[in-house]
Amino acid sequence: MAKYQPKDFFFRKAKDEGLRARSAFKIDEIAKRFDIFEKGQSVVDLGAAPGGFLQIILNEIGPTGFVVGVDLAAIKPLGKPNVKTAVMDVLADDFAVKLEALHPGPVDVVVSDLAPKTTGVKDVDLARSHRLAGIALDISRARGKPGSHFIAKLFMGGDFEAFRADVKRVFSDVKVVRPDATRQASMEIYLVGLSKK
């Protein structure tokens, strides 16, 4: 297993560019590869702390767009009027209702960087990862406009193919991506659903 390098290339690059997390380069790569974001879009970012994804999304959607970011951890203010953040638990029974109250109406993109607290037991971690991705897909299914997009992190393995089939039922095209900024030892990949049916 590769040794964890806290100050690797992407860590240093994020610091140099004023980004809050090295993970910002993951959403940036996916967004550019599949032309995900446009000016004026409405976006939901699940698992948004510390805000690296939000920084990239805000830059892409511009001042006429709007993004809401939620996480179990508080997100330091980004200093822009077109972003709302909240401490929320996606596993709570009332999550969808609270999200709707925070940001009503349909959305253009649902992004999920949600990840479970890992136990070290592979099957348990896979199941938890897929459950979180499933919640993100439910939000996209319920709130995404026709033609909207979906991006979700999950761990490869377990019921991955079944989940990909679920995404294919909702979106016209589905891609599997492992961004360059992903750590070598990580099991994570991203599923990208393009153009909601």
The residues annotated as belonging to the active site are: 153
- The answer to whether 77 and 102 are in contact (CB under 8 A) is no
Residue 45 CA to residue 67 CA, distance in Å, equals: 7
Burial class (CB in 10 A: 0-12, 13-18, 19+), 83: buried
SS3 102: helix
Which amino acid is it at 139? I
Residue 72 CA to residue 148 CA, distance in Å, equals: 26
Note if the bond before 81 is cis, omega within 30 degrees: no
How many whole angstroms from its chain centre is CA 125? 18
How many other C-beta atoms lie within 10 A of the C-beta of residue 30? 20
- The answer to whether 107 and 44 are in contact (CB under 8 A) is yes
